[in-house]
Structure 1
């Protein structure tokens, strides 16, 4: 489904939800700061051995409460509390802290992510970095906007660098390439790029959307890691796909680019199917 194929009614419903995407997402992100760089929380391990804290859970609960108050027939999919079925066809997809390990380590580049999905495609999203009080958001057909602090949000766009040799490649954690059998993909993209950094998580996608990085690659991710990002990258003029070039949030990996380097990057990632 492309933006041109989405009905005006659906787009209007997405726009109606965008204010809550922003307010609830920012409120939840600010809640995490009560615990950030403090010693007032413990770190637990989930079933998949990934870490979780009271900040993750409290932030997701807050967003869930706001959605239930304002759009009670919408579904919710969250990293910490699973799925709540709805009847409207719209699903809110939540990652209360994207980059929990960064959060635990006191690194401010973690983020709160909120996406709104309809019929398999994410149509609105927020990436908010509470430690920097900075973020990006988008709604299909309305553009992507960047904000910092109390400044007025400004329309933002991906960069115009035509090749990766001039650009910045960002990712989250290098060893995840090997976990999915794609270490060669990392090495090949890094070799082509002007500079590589592992700032990653949702912060990396924000860099692409605001023209400060040319490509962000995730070898392994969940739907809540991707849902907010798809509309943000696309509305900024870039591409958001899986490693095979399919524009989706559902296949467990992702490549976000400024569009101009997409073919260059995908020609590499397509050679490395998942071996998990």
Structure 2
């Protein structure tokens, strides 16, 4: 079954790339879903999710599908396919390459497989069976074990407010270097050994469900700010090692 799931994840990435290749400038114009601030969505987001939903429903008609743009179908199914058709739509509308197509597979509450596809960089990461492949080749985290040597990333320096900002600043001040604005690319780089730590807040399930299996399949650790798996809380740490994750949790809680 996991081989079939991994095969379908590859097909989903190809389908999403086809939608992007066939899109026009008008399809990339955005609407703002937010009452305050910016939460952009484009026709390409919708077209990708529609295409992916169709393929999943054909292959696994009894499964549940949960997507950013069109909600959830198949309530009560053991297996859920969680879709973010374009993670990093702000990057997409700015012509930056860090946006990704995300698909996570959750079975009986456990993240068993995931896809992070970076079409503009031609990198396709698929996790299944406890391992992560990039374009068919295994990847591994750096194995970094201490904050003093860690390369840190978060999407936006203004992501955190109040107490969360103070917590993040403690960790940032303890690390080697910090980079911003990478969206899902940051988690890819944890899996490929180029970044050691990502800390974020305010993520939705479609933002993070694909990341869990990909990071763990490369030997990394991923969980919430308290050392657990409160995925609905949206506060996520992805680290190159269990030791680095534990040190980060401890400093966030200090």
TM-score by length of 2: 0.92
Q: Is the 8 A contact 2:27 2:42 kept in 1?
A: no
Instruction: Supply the RMSD in Å over aligned alpha carbons.
Output: 1.9
In the other structure, the counterpart of 1:46 is: 33
* Counterparts of residues 182-221 of structure 1 (less than 5 Å): 182-221=164-203
1:4-153 correspondence to structure 2 within 5 Å: 13-35=1-23, 38=25, 40-47=27-34, 49-85=38-74, 88-141=77-130, 143-147=131-135, 153=136
Q: TM-score, normalised by structure 1?
A: 0.85
Shift of 1:39: 5.4
Is 1:254 matched with 2:236?
yes
The 1-side partners of 2:27 and 2:216 are apart by 39
Shift in Å, 1:213: 0.7
Tell me if the contact between 1:32 and 1:56 (Cα under 8 Å) persists in the aligned partners: no
Task: Report the number of matched residues.
Answer: 251
Given the superposition, is the C-alpha separation of residues 181 and 79 from structure 1 closer, same or farther in structure 2, using an over 3 Å criterion? farther
Separation in 2, partners of 1:87, 1:19: 24
For structure 1, list consecutive stretches of 5 or more residues without a partner in the other structure: 1-12, 148-152, 272-276
Post-superposition offset of 1:244: 0.8
The match for 2:155 is 172
1:135 Cα deviation (Å)? 2.5
Contact 1:204 1:216 (8 Å CA) reproduced: yes
Match of 1:5 in 2: none
Question: What runs of 5+ residues in structure 2 fail to find an aligned partner?
Answer: none
Deviates more, 1:229-238 or 1:96-105: 229-238
Cα drift, residue 25 of structure 1:
2.4
| Structure 2 Cα separation of the partners of residues 82 and 144 of structure 1 | 28
SS in 1 for 2:160: helix
93-102 or 127-136, which deviates more: 127-136
Report the Cα distance in structure 1 between the residues aligned to 2:90 and 2:22, rounded to whole angstroms.
17
Equivalent-residue separation in structure 2 for 1:17 and 1:34 (angstroms):
26
Distance in 2, Cα, partners of 1:187 & 1:169: 11
Which position in structure 2 is the counterpart of 1:274? none
* Contact 1:21 1:115 survives alignment (8 Å): no
**Contact 2:221/2:239 (8 A) holds in 1:** yes
